[in-house]
Structure 1
Amino acid sequence: MNDDESVNVSKEEEEYVLIDLDEVARDIDIPAEAPYILSGLDTLNPVLTINDKIKLVGEYLETIGTCLAFSDKEVVAAENQTPHKTVEPIAKLHKILKFRLALDNVYGEQTETTKL
């Protein structure tokens, strides 16, 4: 390779997104173990399908300020101490993905299947 040629190295950055289901959680019951499919993350409106019955449409919102995600782990204590939890930051979030019911859930044939 001579000096005129350049090598294109693409580095993929990890991006974390918070999935916000608060708005739909009031209207539908989502079982904790329900299977789901999340598609179209690279589009303006990703789709979340839960239990092959509920279709949700998302919209990205930019975070205001710094939004951090944490994990908590239970730490085993010595004999004379009580166990406790530690909290560690795991990611800095750049976007929130807020979901709402898809229109076909409200007005279409799937209306009866939105309640599990």
Structure 2
Amino acid sequence: MNNEESGKVSKEEEEEEYVLMDLDDVSRHIDFPPDAPYTLSGLDTLNPILTIDGKIKLVGEYLETIGTCLAFSDKEVAAAENKTPGKTVQPVAKLHKILKFRLALDNDDGETKASNL
């Protein structure tokens, strides 16, 4: 008897994990366009790589959050007659990790390391 015959269908549960990308240290030293294309690779490694606009290479490091971080989204709400428009704020996700980025330096041996910026 297979799983379909017994009425039990095994499903793999997908677990979503949200990570906050912290670019504060880098944005103080480098200006990058807000609409620049980017590539994020190596999320399953200790030091993911973020390449912005094909020119700026950043190396990340995971930091655990203290307590629970919550991410919210806000939406404009249409105003009713004689009222001003407003915003609604809704929770999007719980965050357990922060991915803090620094400018990457490539060594002569091709290895990428974070700078001290």
User: Would you call these one fold, judging by a TM-score over 0.5?
Assistant: yes
What are the equivalent positions in structure 2 for 1:66-77 lying under 5 Å apart? 66-77=68-79
* Counterpart in the other structure of 2:39: 37
Displacement after TM superposition at 1:9 (Å): 4.0
Q: Which segments of structure 1 move beyond 4 Å, counting only runs of 4 or more?
A: none
1:87, 1:9 → 2: CA distance? 33
Task: Look up the equivalent residue of 1:67 and give its one-letter code.
Answer: C
Consecutive unaligned residues of structure 2, counting only runs of 5 or more, are 3-8, 108-117
TM-score (norm: length of structure 1): 0.82
* % identical equivalent positions: 80
SS in 2 for 1:23: helix
1:52-91 deviation per Cα after TM superposition (whole angstroms, max 9, x unaligned): 1110000011110110000001110111100000111010
Displacement after TM superposition at 1:103 (Å): 1.4
Task: Look up the equivalent residue of 1:31 and give its one-letter code.
Answer: P
Count of matched residue positions in the alignment of Structure 1 and Structure 2: 104
User: Which has a greater percent of strand?
Assistant: 2
Consecutive unaligned residues of structure 1, counting only runs of 5 or more, are 106-116
* Counterpart in the other structure of 1:54: 56
Asked which structure has the greater RCO (Cα within 8 Å, sep 6+), the reply is 1
Range that drifts further, 54-63 or 9-18: 9-18
TM-score (norm: length of structure 2): 0.81
1:62, 1:22 → 2: CA distance? 17
Displacement after TM superposition at 1:8 (Å): 6.0
For the aligned residue pairs, the C-alpha RMSD in angstroms reads: 2.2
* Counterpart in the other structure of 1:65: 67
